[in-house]
Structure 1
Amino acid sequence: MSIVDDQIRRLDAVLDKYQLIAAAVPPAPIPEQENIEVTPTAPSPSDNARTAKLKTILRALSTTGSRPLLRKQRLRDTIALIKRPDDVAVTSTDETDLEWFATGKATVQVYGIILNTLLDQAIPLNESIWYWDDVLGSYAYTGLYTLQTSPVRFLQSAKEVYADAKQRYQSNINVREAAQQSTQTISDAWKEFYGLVQQSIDERSLAQARTRILSPFALCRTEARKKQDGVKKLREQSATAIGLLVEEGLSFVGDEAESHKGWKVTVAKTVALLEGLLTHAKSVKSTFVEYEETVIDFVDAGWDDQPPQLVDKLLHILDVHLPEQEQESQKLALEFGKPSRIIRYWIPTLALFLSGSTLLRILVNRRQEIVAWVRELGATTIDFWYNWVVDPTKRLIGTIRHDENSELAIMSKDSLRSDRESLERMVVDFAVQNPENGTVYTEAQIAEIRTKVREGDLSAVLKAYEKEIQSPAKGAIFGNLVRALLIQVQKTKVDVEVAMNGIDSILKSQELLFGMIGIAPGIILSWLAFRWLRSTFGNRRGIKQMQEQGDTVRLLRNIDRTLSNATPTEEGMLSFKDHGLLLCDVHVLRQRAAAMLPGNRHRDFREDVNDLMNVRSGIQRQLRVVKRIQWAYGKWLK
C-alpha cells in the first residue's frame, strides 16, 4: 500500500461525509444559472434514469477493494458517463448534487493518477543523480564514461560533417545548373563529394584546434556536470509539482470547506490546479519558484466552473495534458538522465563477443577434464555432507534419545563384571585349597573372603605369595608362586578396567557435548560455503533484499537531509519543493518497509510515517519522528 492509496481513501471518505451531510439537509430550490433550465414539475422517468445512472457512477468511482485507484482507461470511460446530454435539463437539486459528487470523486481519481505519475517520474531521477555523482567523483569513472560515449560523439561528428558536405555539394550543383554545366559522371560526383567531406573534416579539425583547448576527458566532465544540473532541476520541478498537488489539491480544511458549497469550490480549484501543473511542467528552463508562482497564478485566473465544464477539463487532462506531460518528462529524463544500457555495457558485450570463440574452443578441448573435475567435486561434496553432517547429526540425535548403539564407550559393559567374578573365584579356590592354618574354612569364612575380594583385599593370596617368594625356585616348581602371580595379574587387569570404567562414565556424562563438537565443523563449513555461494551467485531475491536494505538506509539519510536543509515558511512548515522531495522518499520507504517489517511492526511504522508526512506539525517534530524511525526499526531496515 502506497501513500497515493492512503490519500485517495482519505479524500474519498471526506466526499462521502459531505454526501451524508447533504442527504440530511432538506432539499432547497435550485438557483437559476446560466445555460441551466430549471423545471419545477415532477421528475419524469428520464430524470429517474439520470439519477440512477449518476448513483451507479458514484459507486464505480468509490474506493472499494484493495485497489482504490482505477485504471486510466476505465476512469476515462466512467468520467465520460457523467456528461449530461445536451437535450436533457437539470430538474432537481438532488441531480445537481449527484453531478457534483460524481465530479468530485472523478477529480479524486484523476488527482491520484497524476500524483502517482509524478512520483513515478521523480523517484528514478535520484538514480541518475547518483550516477552523475559517481562519474564526477572519480577520474576512473569519468574515463570510463568518456570511453563509453565515444561512439556517440563520433556518430554526432559524422552527422555534422555529412550535413555540411551535403549542403556544400548542393550549393555547387545549384551553381553549375545556373552556369548550364550540369554534365557530370557518377564517379566525378563521388570524387567531388568525397573532397567536400575531407574539406569539412579539415575545417572542423582546425576550428576545434583553435577554439577547443579542453581535452575530451574535460569535455565529458563538463557534459556530465551539465546533465547533473539538468536532472537536479527536473527533480526540483517534479518535487514542487508533488508538493503543490498534495498541499493545495483537494484541501478540505477551514470553515469554507465545511459549508455546503465550500467543498465544491475546492473541487473546482483542484481541477484548475491539475491542469496548471501539467500544462507548465513541460520544460526545465524556469526555476521551481517561477514554476510554483506560474501554477498558482493559473489557478487564481479561473476556477468558477460547474460540473459539465469540470468534466470536460478532466477528460482533456486525461486525453491531452497528461500524455503530453509524460512524453515530455520521458524526453527530458533521456536527455539528462544516465546513458542507456547499450551505451554503458557495449564494451564488455563486445569483449565477450570477440573472446567467445576462444572460450568455446577451450571448453571443447578440455571437456573431459572439466566433466571429471565437476564429477569429483560433486562426489567430494556428497561425501563431505554425509560423513561430516548427516552421520554426526544422526549420532547426536541418538545420544539425545539415549540410543544404546550411539553411546560412547571405551570398553564393553560386561567386561569388568566377568573379570571381577573370575578374580573372585580364583582367590576363593586358592584360599580353600591353601588354608592359612591348615584348617578347612567354614562357609562363613569363605563368604568373608569373597566379600574382601570384591573390596579389593587379596590377603589370602598375598600371604601365600610372601611365603613362596622366600624360595622362588622351589615355590615356582613345587609351590604356588606362579599361581599367586597369575592371580595378581588378574587383579591388575581388574584395577585397570575399573579405571577405564571411570573414564567411560565421564565420557557418557559429556556425550552430548562431544556430539555437538563432532557436528560443529561440518555445519560451520556448510554454512560458510552456502553464504559464499549466495553472495557470489545467490538468488536474485537475496541480492535484491540486501540492495533494498542499503537503499533504505540511504532513503532515511535523504529524508533527514531534506528536513535539516529545508527552508521553512513563515508558518514553520516545509516549502512545496521540500514537501515533494520528502513525499518521494517516504513513498519508496513505505514500499521497502512493507517487505522487511513483520505485521505488527509494519502497522506501527505506518503510524510513524503518517506523523512524518504531517507537514503542519513543523520541521522539528518531523526530525524527531525520523530519529524514532531510525532507532525503532533499525533492526529490520539496516
Structure 2
Amino acid sequence: MCAHFANHFTKSLVPHIPNNPPQVLQHVSTQQQSQNQALVDLLSYLTPPIRHHNLCHAVETFSTMGTSLAVSAADPEEQALKIAVYSQFVVGLYTESLRLCLSQATEAEAEAEWWSERERTPMRLALYLVQTFPERIYRLGCTLASAIQARQLPVQLSTFSPNSIRDILRGAPGLHSPHLATILFPFTRDQPASLITGLWTPAQVVKNGTIFDALSHTLRWISYSITFPYNLAEQECRFKRKQLEKLRDKRAEVLGVLAQMRYILDQMLKHEPHNLDEFLQTLCTALGAEREDLGNQPPLQLTFQNLELRASQHATYMRSQELIRPSRLTLLWPKLVFLPPLAIYAIRSLYTSRVTLAQVANDVLETLEAFFKGWLLEPLKDVVHTIRAGGEEGVIVRQETILADRDSLERMALDIAKDKLHYDNAQLDTLSKQIRLGDFTPVQVIYEDDIRSPLKSAVSGTLLRSVFIRVQKAKVDINQVLLGIDRLLKSQELTFAFVGVAPAIAVVYVAGDVLSRVWRGGRGRGRYGGQRKRAGAWFAMRRIERLLVASPASIDEASQETLSPLTSGLILLSVASLRTFAENFLPAQSRLREGFLEDVEDLENPEMGKMSKLRVVERMWRCWGKVLGWDEMAADHSSGTDLVLKLL
C-alpha cells in the first residue's frame, strides 16, 4: 500500500526527467563509452516504479563509480546522462522517503488502533490479560531466577513462599507490590508510584477503627486486589496507544513536510537539475539526519544511509518499547489449548444424543410439513375453489329449503281459509297472492277469533291449525333472515378465506424475507470489500473531514489556505488507505473506481487549499455515500454479535 501510494504520488515527477537516447554512445572514447554504458544501465535499472532493492543496488553501483554532479563532464552527452541518472536517484530517494514515513505512520496507527480496541472493550481487555498471562509469569520467573542466582540463595520450597518472593523482589523499602507490578507490567517503570500503590492493609484499619470499618475496608481491599491486574492491563493499553499516537503524529508531520516538497522537486527537475544536491540536503534535514552520525559523505549516499538508519531506529524503538502487539502464538494459545477439548466434548455430546437430535430433526420436518399442508396449501385451495364456485352454494341455508317451506305455508293458509272462511277459487287466488307478498290478514283473523274461546276452538281443531300455521310462518321468517345472512357471508366469503390463510402467508413471508436478507445481505456486504473494508473507508473519510475542519489554516503568499505539515501528513495517511481501498475492492475499469480515485487524487494534492479539499470531501460524501453504504455505516458498525464472533 505504502509503496504504491508513494509511486503514484511521485508519478508526475517522472516525465520531467531528461531521457537520453542510445546515440549518446557515439563519438566518444572507450573509457567514456564504458562509463556511459554503465550510466545507461543504471538509467534503465531505475525505471519507475523503483523498488527498494533496486534502489539499494543502484546507489551502491553509483557510489563505486565515483560519479557526481559537482564534476562537470567534458562530453555534454555524458553530463546529460549523469543528470538523468541523478534525477532518477533523487526521485527514487524522495519516493523511498515518502514510502518509509508513510509505512511507519501506518504501522504506528494500526498498532494504536489494536491497543485502542483492547482498551475500550472489556471482553477484549480481559482476553488480552489471559493471552499475555504466561508471558508475564515467564518474565516473573526469569526475574526470580536472576535474583536468586545473584543472591546465591538455596533453591527450596520455602524460597518460593509469598514472603520470600516479596523479600527477593524488594526494590526499595515500602515498595513491595509496585515492584512486582513493574515486573508483570513493564510500562509502570516510568509511571508515578501513586499509579500502582494503594493496596491498604486491613490490619491498619482494625487498629484505628471499628470492626465494621475493618470489614468494609477488607472487602474493598479484596475487590481492589481482584481488579488490580485488570486496571493495570487497561492502563498498559492506554499508555501504549498514546505512545503510538505520538509516534504516528511525528511520522505524519515528516510526511506532510515531504509532501509539500514535491512542488520544489518538480521545479528543480524542470529548471535547475544541477542543484539537486540542495534538495537532497533539504530532504536529509526533513528526515532528521545528523551528519556526525553518518560521516562526511556525498548527499546521495548520506540520504540513502539516513533512510536505512531511520528504518532501523524505528524498528528498534518499536521492539524496545514493546509497542507492537503480542505475537500470534501469544494471541492464539487460549484457542489452541481450550478449543480442541471443547470441540471433542461437543462432538461426543452430539454423538451421544444423536438419536434425540434425529428425533428433533424429524419433528421439525413434520411440523413444517403439517404447517405448509394444513395452514397454507389447503386454505389456498379453498380460496381457489371459492373463486371458481362464484358463490353458488349456500353457507347456512339453501334456497330450495326456503321455497319448500314457503309453499307449505301457503298451502296450509289456503286450506284453513277454504275450510273456515269458505273461500271460492277466486278468493283463494287473491289470498295466495297476498300470502306471497307476506299478508296473512285472513289467517290472522281466524286465529284472533279462535283465541276468544280457546277451549272450543281447540276441540273443533281450528286453533291448533292456526298455531301450526304461525309456527310455519315463523320458520319461513327465520329462513328468510338466514338467507340474508347467508348472502352477506357469501359476499364476504373470499375475504374470510384470505383471513384464514393470512397468518400462514405472513409467517412464510417473514421467514422468506429473513432468509433473503441473509442471502442478499451477505452478498451485498461482500461487495466493495465487505462491511469491514467499507467501514474503514468511512472512518478515513470522517477523519479527513475532521482534520480539515479542526486544523488552523495559515495564509501563504498566494493568499490561499494551506495546511500544517502534521495535518497534511495525517490526511495523506487516511488518503493512502482510501486509495488502497479503491484500487483493491472497487470494480476495475468502472466509473465508480475512476471517479473515486479522481477525488482521492485531489485530496492527495498538497497544492490544494483547505476549503478546496473540504469541497472535495463534501462531493465524495454526496456521490459515494449511498453507493458504498456509508449512510448506514455508523449504525451497523459496532454490534455485540459482531464482537462475540470476532472473539470466537
Conserved? CA contact 1:596–1:636, under 8 Å: no
**2:95 paired with 1:123:** no
1:174-224 deviation line (CA, Å, top 9, x unaligned): xxxxxxxxxxxxxxxxx98889x99x9787434455565636457736263
Structure 1 equivalent of residue 261 of structure 2: 248
- SS of the counterpart of 2:399? helix
Conserved? CA contact 2:525–2:531, under 8 Å: no
Conserved? CA contact 2:2–2:99, under 8 Å: no
CA distance in 2, matches of 1:258, 1:232: 38
Structure 2 equivalent of residue 616 of structure 1: 607
Rate the CA distance shift 1:139–1:404 in 2: closer, same or farther, 3 A: closer
CA distance in 2, matches of 1:303, 1:568: 37
Rate the CA distance shift 1:336–1:372 in 2: closer, same or farther, 3 A: same
Cα root mean square deviation, aligned: 6.7
Alignment of 1:589-604 (within 5 A): 589-591=578-580
**2:575 paired with 1:586:** yes
Shift of 1:423: 4.1
CA distance in 2, matches of 1:165, 1:298: 41
Conserved? CA contact 1:115–1:245, under 8 Å: yes
Shift of 1:635: 0.9
CA distance in 2, matches of 1:112, 1:395: 74
Structure 2 equivalent of residue 374 of structure 1: 357
CA distance in 1, matches of 2:36, 2:51: 29
Structure 2 equivalent of residue 182 of structure 1: none
Rate the CA distance shift 1:342–1:491 in 2: closer, same or farther, 3 A: same
1:402-451 deviation line (CA, Å, top 9, x unaligned): 97247599x95333799335645765687699598514999xx99x97xx
Rate the CA distance shift 1:505–1:273 in 2: closer, same or farther, 3 A: farther
Q: Which one of the candidate residues 304, 327, 336 is aligned to 1:340?
A: 327
- SS of the counterpart of 1:335? coil
- SS of the counterpart of 1:404? helix
1:41-76 deviation line (CA, Å, top 9, x unaligned): 9xxx99999999899879xx46xxxxxx67766x67
CA distance in 2, matches of 1:416, 1:168: 105
Conserved? CA contact 2:52–2:96, under 8 Å: yes
**2:494 paired with 1:508:** yes
Rate the CA distance shift 1:475–1:119 in 2: closer, same or farther, 3 A: farther
CA distance in 2, matches of 1:110, 1:389: 72
Conserved? CA contact 1:465–1:484, under 8 Å: no
**2:454 paired with 1:458:** no
Letter in 2 for 1:635: D
Q: Where do 5+ consecutive residues of structure 1 fail to align?
A: 31-36, 63-68, 170-190, 278-290
Q: Where do 5+ consecutive residues of structure 2 fail to align?
A: 66-72, 190-235, 451-456, 635-648
- SS of the counterpart of 2:289? helix
Structure 1 equivalent of residue 169 of structure 2: 205
CA distance in 1, matches of 2:138, 2:275: 55
Q: Which one of the candidate residues 575, 583, 587 is aligned to 2:564?
A: 575
Conserved? CA contact 2:39–2:82, under 8 Å: no
Structure 1 equivalent of residue 27 of structure 2: 39
Structure 2 equivalent of residue 635 of structure 1: 631
CA distance in 2, matches of 1:405, 1:70: 78
Alignment of 1:51-450 (within 5 A): 61=47, 115-116=98-99, 118-130=101-113, 132=115, 149=132, 151-160=134-143, 162-163=145-146, 204-209=168-173, 214=178, 216-217=180-181, 220=185, 222=188, 224=236, 227-249=240-262, 253-254=266-267, 256-259=268-271, 262=273, 276=284, 292-294=287-289, 324=312, 328=316, 331=319, 335-343=322-330, 346=333, 356=341, 364=348, 367-368=351-352, 370-375=353-358, 377-379=360-362, 381-382=364-365, 404-405=384-385, 413-415=392-394, 419-420=398-399, 423-424=402-403, 427=406, 434=414, 438-439=425-426
Query: How many residues are aligned here?
Result: 547
Shift of 1:335: 2.1
Shift of 1:374: 3.4
- The alignment-based identity, stated in percent, is 15
TM-score by length of 1: 0.59
Shift of 1:573: 2.8
Conserved? CA contact 1:272–1:302, under 8 Å: no
TM-score by length of 2: 0.58
Letter in 2 for 1:248: M
Rate the CA distance shift 1:325–1:9 in 2: closer, same or farther, 3 A: same
